[in-house]
Amino acid sequence: MADAADAQGSRAGEGDAAVRVLPVDGMHCAACASKVERAAKGVAGVREATVSFAARRARIAFDPRAVDLAQIAGAVRRAGFTLDIARDPEVRAAREAADARLLRLRVAVGAALSLPLVVIAMSHGAIPALDGPAMPWVQLALATPVYLWCGWPIHAAALARLRTFDADMNTLVALGTSVAFASSAWTLLAGGAAHAGHAGHSGHALTFEAAAVILVFVLLGRLLEARATARAGEALRALSTAAVPAARVVVDGAEREIAAAEIEAGMLVVVRPGERIPIDGTVMRGESEVDESLLTGEPMPRLRRAGERVFAGSLNTVGALEIEAGCAADETMLAQIAGLVDEAQSTKASIARTADRVAAVFVPIVLAIALGAVVAWLLLAPEEIRRARAVEALVSVLVVACPCALGLATPVAIMVASGRAAALGVLFRRANAFELLAGVGRVAFDKTGTLTEGRPAVTAVVPAHGWSEEALIGLAAAAEVRSEHAVARGIVAEARARGIHVEEPTAFTAFAGRGVHAKVLAHTVEVGNAAWMRECGVTVDAHGSDGSGATRVFVAADGAFVGSIALEDRVRDDARETIAALRALHVEPMLVTGDAEQPAGAVAKALDIDPAAVHASMTPEGKAALVARFAEEPRVAAFVGDGLNDAAALAVARPGIAMGGGTDLAKTSADILLVTDDLRRVPEAIALSRATLRVIRQNLAWAFGYNLVLIPLAAGALYPWTGWMLPPVAASAAMALSSVSVVANSLRLRRAVVMPRG
């Protein structure tokens, strides 16, 4: 299912580049993600590379004519990481499961050996049996397998970084534990231990237990972090597992089971009660309650009958359905949603850039601090504690430093929030869309099909002298029959309801935001607003205008005005609740429409939108210019409109929110997509975005604060006044918990109650 991201195509600023979202192995901190980015960007033909440490994924935009994925993967491999271009989900899942089992085994073995090691080291004569001359050798025997086997993944990763003259978190941990283990082994082997588990010859302490426990804590932290991060990605996995692997199709009157990936448009698919629907399509026979909550966030199943659309991933609950496939398996809405969520989780929010810059230089800074602490202890401390404290400070500084918390602060929150949003029926196309939406102070809505139902009905037909209602409506319908505009559909529906035959035009041209030009039988016909009539040189008779909120469409034939048609569109039932919820968030609603002032004002009045916030008679170009101006003002405005008709305004909005309703999600340029036409998702998305930014700021404050406080303590900054410094074991425990705490804080977004009430 994640492969759907491969088909998303180009994005703004990427031109005709191919875009792929691929798993990355071997990363252990944010600095690793930066190294993968640099390696990929260093390949000629790569336009952009963004790597999410939390999601373990890289989003790469490249020119397929200049470079292929194998070359990019080779560059990443030379940097010490693996870019998984094979993307076999079953193979990858099996490998990840095996890696998880091995990690659990290393933690269990390490803990089992470290526990007696700690007891021996900390007995200090309290247990006479543990105070004999053989006990230091027992410590060595217990610590060696922990250091060599349990800690091997850390040492191997550090060696891989060393081969590329680089360093990361593994370097810090490997160096710290190696110093602790090697100094103790040297003390023991050089002259034996004077005191079991406590001091070697010359009074220098043995720190076998520190080396072992540090490695166990680091591995335990990774295990907990992996589990917590896996919970953060549950929404995407839910979408992936909703894809049905096999389906029953009707071939020559008989049912046959095939792989769902082999379904093609036009095939007849049979879905029994309790099964998930494998493809988007139209019900041809049967009726059933269909649970679409995975796609739309709507909790109640909906009755679907013959002629109605259903979507892959939905659960068929009670009746058997025969469905005509409307697309291939990799083109379903489910595939598009999974691909967009996957891609959003693989992009970076701009708020993460500061953390990335710090993470890029974090390890060298920590190494410098550790070396400085060693020099200070060796030069300034009393001789009897000089060496022991220098080693302790070195180990503590190296293991307490935690670039992981910095690297996870933003991407894990984005992962959880994008999954939560998808469950609500809201798709964030890019991570920075959360930041954009959180900062809006206004929301500008299109009118037709957004605040209204998008099904205008004819309320009056006013023919000019010499024309009948039937002739006028028939001519207008013939001119509009090829148009996709909601007003055009209303006119055509009225003509057919009156039993009028609708002719096919011999020529048709639509002019967005103004009207249409068509050839109908022997007539040249213009249908549109008053501005279009003026542009065509037609004098419009103002009769028939009653001052109501109806939309008036004018009709001309052969350059002469022949009448007008009034249509009204009902305000959506959820529009009032949406406007009230926005006000509860201190967000000002606005109306931007191509319709005339009277119908726009009527809708604004019905929804209690300030008349000063109504912009009527806007062309598509005018809408885009107005929305672009909003983006530069102090109170930034989001724009909500139809994903296709308002493409220009959605493209320049910061952010643009497209109403879905089953359209091709991948084709709209909006930053945020609503899977359904439920307007209440707009304030929910704003509230969720604000909650996400709060969590990210909390995570960053914790990650920066943790390192700023504990690294000096580990170096012994308070020792001259308190006689205390952070022990290596405590430092490793703090480091392990720091990244887990960031992930745990982010997981709160899974349960965020985001619907504000007015």
Domains of the chain: 2-87 (3.30.70.100), 92-234+348-411+701-746 (no CATH), 242-330 (2.70.150.10), 426-446+575-618+626-675 (3.40.50.1000), 457-568 (3.40.1110.10)
Q: Are 565 and 459 in contact (CB under 8 A)?
A: no
Q: Is the pLDDT of residue 129 over 90?
A: no
Section 733-742 average pLDDT: 84
How many residues comprise the chain?
758
pLDDT of 134 reads 82
CB contact set of 157 (below 8 Å; sequence gap of 6+):
26, 28, 80, 168, 170, 174
For residue 420 the two structure tokens come to 């939560």
Q: Is the pLDDT of residue 368 over 80?
A: yes
Q: Please, which pLDDT band fits residue 79 given cuts at 50, 70 and 90? A: confident
CB contact set of 465 (below 8 Å; sequence gap of 6+):
none
For residue 248 the two structure tokens come to 């029953």
> The pTM is what?
0.75
Range in 321-335, 401-415, 514-528 with the lowest mean pLDDT = 401-415
For residue 356 the two structure tokens come to 């990335």
Section 382-407 average pLDDT: 85
CA distance 743 to 735: 13
Section 738-745 average pLDDT: 87
CA distance 492 to 27: 59
CB contact set of 428 (below 8 Å; sequence gap of 6+):
344, 417, 418, 421, 434, 671, 672, 685
Section 108-116 average pLDDT: 93
Section 712-718 average pLDDT: 92
Range in 139-153, 187-201, 430-444, 502-516 with the lowest mean pLDDT = 187-201
**Burial 21-45, CB ≥16 within 10 A → b, else e:** bbbbebbbbbbbbbbbbebbeebee
pLDDT of 235 reads 60
DSSP H helical ranges for 402-457: 403-409, 411-424, 432-438
Q: How far apart are the first and last CA of the chain?
A: 39
> In angstroms, what CA-CA distances link 685 with 213, 578, 584, 587?
44, 12, 14, 13
Q: Are 587 and 683 in contact (CB under 8 A)?
A: yes
Q: What is the mean pLDDT of the chain?
A: 84
For residue 665 the two structure tokens come to 């999600």
CA distance 706 to 381: 27
Section 521-547 average pLDDT: 83
pLDDT of 399 reads 85
510: buried, middle or exposed (CB in 10 Å: 19+, 13-18, 0-12)?
Answer: middle
pLDDT of 522 reads 86
Q: Are 29 and 409 in contact (CB under 8 A)?
A: no
> In angstroms, what CA-CA distances link 570 with 76, 230, 389, 464, 681?
56, 45, 78, 27, 20
pLDDT of 191 reads 64
pLDDT of 35 reads 85
pLDDT of 649 reads 86
pLDDT of 545 reads 54
Q: Please, which pLDDT band fits residue 474 given cuts at 50, 70 and 90? A: very high
**Burial 88-111, CB ≥16 within 10 A → b, else e:** eeeeeeeeeeeeeeebeebbebbb
What residues act catalytically? 446
CA distance 624 to 249: 46
Section 535-552 average pLDDT: 74
238: buried, middle or exposed (CB in 10 Å: 19+, 13-18, 0-12)?
Answer: middle
Q: Are 639 and 650 in contact (CB under 8 A)?
A: yes
pLDDT of 2 reads 40
Range in 528-537, 611-620, 696-705, 733-742 with the lowest mean pLDDT = 733-742
pLDDT of 442 reads 95
pLDDT of 211 reads 85
Section 616-627 average pLDDT: 86
Q: Is the pLDDT of residue 402 over 80?
A: no
Section 13-24 average pLDDT: 75
Q: Please, which pLDDT band fits residue 202 given cuts at 50, 70 and 90? A: very low
Section 628-652 average pLDDT: 82
Q: Count how many Cα atoms sit within 13 Å of the Cα of residue 68 in the half-sphere of its side chain.
A: 2
CA distance 6 to 61: 10
Q: Please, which pLDDT band fits residue 753 given cuts at 50, 70 and 90? A: low
